[in-house]
Chains A and B, each alone.
Chain A
Amino acid sequence: MKCRKCSQKAVIKIYQHNLPLCKEHFLEFEEERVRKAIQDFQMIERKEKLLVVVSGGKDSLSVAYMLKKMGYTVHLLHINLGIGKYSLLSQEKCEKFSSQHSLPLTVISLVEEWGKGIGELAHSTYKSTCSLCGMVKRYYFNKFAYENGFDAVVTGHNLDDMTSALLANILGWRISYMVKQTPVLREEGKLKKKVKPLIYLTERETAAYAFLSSIDYIREECPFSANSTFLKVKHALNEIEKESPGTKFSFYRGLLKNLHLFKEKEKKPLLRECAICGFPTIMEVCSFCKTLRKEEVKKYASHL
């Protein structure tokens, strides 16, 4: 198989574009797709300070690498979730990447902050580990970005993440979640802008990009996500994608095209400041404080 652009031996074929490419042209192509996504959705500007949240995985490290290469000002933030060896290895990968590419890194450790890892925290608060993990990460990403003057929080969500979440939300008819599945969530008060520059890239492409760019990432799965519904939905979509390449892309593009249909139906909730921490919430006390700052919430309630 030969590269479509130079006739050298291809190292990968991107099935959705029916495009075999050599290493050099593949890396160039992926970076161009990311530039296009940034432009198409006016995600970020050159002068903005970006907080790239990194897990140590292929997607977040690749997006940080690409943005630095494109000349953006990048700071890395890693949340150590306190999941035994998995978290130790994740942090190690982030630290190695940070020093190799001279990018500043901040680590927030849940065990240092709360005395427990995410598994124990979920157990003691009667929450599911994955939903608590998502909530805690979103809270810290935003809080850190707001308190340290960043213009945007950048995540490594790829096309597979977006389409599997979309399909899962359609299966459960969670329209309020679907309307938030956009490539950009604009800044609103203390909620910083959130952007997803990898939305045009499949998970296989980001893995190949990381491998060919010698990015050393964690390949182990989070032990809590091994049997997640999310993974099952990803497999189901990839079965369809294998038979009809381009399905994932057109599925997600369809959401963006038809978003107005859902947004009209979905009333936007009013945001106010959490009575405990001051960060935006639709309730009097935000979910983070309600779950993890129970004593403070009790004290607050007793003074009402």
Chain B
Amino acid sequence: MRAIYEGKQYTLKGRRRVRELLNTLNLNREEVLVIRGKELLTEDDWIEENDEVEIWNVISGG
């Protein structure tokens, strides 16, 4: 599976839950949205081996 966050691409082996992906990338669930295509994913959702997800940062400073 591939995850794109802040312009960087992360390739990870196997399927995993959103929660596990966020833990792997050390991201706080309060500060991101995880999106597959047009679908917003919850922490419990599975990301399959061939999926690509985008992780949007939601925290702004100004």
The answer to whether A and B belong to the same complex is yes
A positions within 8 Å CB-CB of B: 1, 10-13, 15, 20, 23, 55, 57-59, 130, 133, 160, 202-204, 206-208, 211-212, 219, 221-222, 224-226, 228, 230-231, 234-235, 238-239, 241-242
A11-B42, A211-B35, A212-B40 known; A221 and B30 CB under 8 Å? no
Task: Describe A's contact surface by its main secondary structure.
Answer: helix
Question: For residue A208, which residues in chain B have a CB less than 8 angstroms away from its CB?
Answer: 33, 40, 58
CB-defined A-B contacts under 8 Å, sample of 21: A1-B42, A10-B42, A11-B41, A12-B42, A13-B42, A57-B60, A58-B60, A130-B62, A204-B30, A208-B33, A208-B40, A219-B56, A221-B60, A225-B60, A225-B61, A225-B62, A230-B62, A231-B59, A235-B59, A242-B29, A242-B30
Question: For residue A204, which residues in chain B have a CB less than 8 angstroms away from its CB?
Answer: 30-33, 58
A-B contact count (CB 8 A): 80
Q: Which of B24-62 contact A (CB under 8 A)?
A: 28-33, 35, 39-45, 56-62
B positions within 8 Å CB-CB of A: 28-33, 35, 39-45, 56-62
A59 to B60 CA separation, bound complex (whole angstroms): 10
Question: For residue A230, which residues in chain B have a CB less than 8 angstroms away from its CB?
Answer: 61-62
Given contact pairs A11-B39, A11-B40, A225-B62, a sample of 4 additional A-B residue pairs in the complex whose CB atoms are under 8 Å apart: A13-B42, A206-B58, A234-B59, A242-B28
One of B28, B56, B57, B61 near A228 (C-beta < 8 A) = B61
Question: For residue B45, which residues in chain A have a CB less than 8 angstroms away from its CB?
Answer: 1
A211-B33, A238-B30 known; A20 and B60 CB under 8 Å? no
CB <8 Å contact, A207 and B29: no
Nearest B residue (CB) for A23:
B40
CB distance from A90 to the nearest CB of B (A): 11
Question: For residue B61, which residues in chain A have a CB less than 8 angstroms away from its CB?
Answer: 221-222, 225-226, 228, 230-231, 234
A162 to B43 CA separation, bound complex (whole angstroms): 26
CB <8 Å contact, B60 and A203: yes
Question: For residue A212, which residues in chain B have a CB less than 8 angstroms away from its CB?
Answer: 40
Question: For residue A160, which residues in chain B have a CB less than 8 angstroms away from its CB?
Answer: 59
CB <8 Å contact, A203 and B58: yes
Question: For residue A221, which residues in chain B have a CB less than 8 angstroms away from its CB?
Answer: 60-62
Question: For residue A130, which residues in chain B have a CB less than 8 angstroms away from its CB?
Answer: 62
A195 to B25 CA separation, bound complex (whole angstroms): 37
Nearest B residue (CB) for A57:
B60
CB <8 Å contact, B31 and A238: yes
CB <8 Å contact, B56 and A207: yes
CB distance from A282 to the nearest CB of B (A): 25
CB <8 Å contact, A207 and B33: yes
A228-B62, A242-B30 known; A219 and B42 CB under 8 Å? no
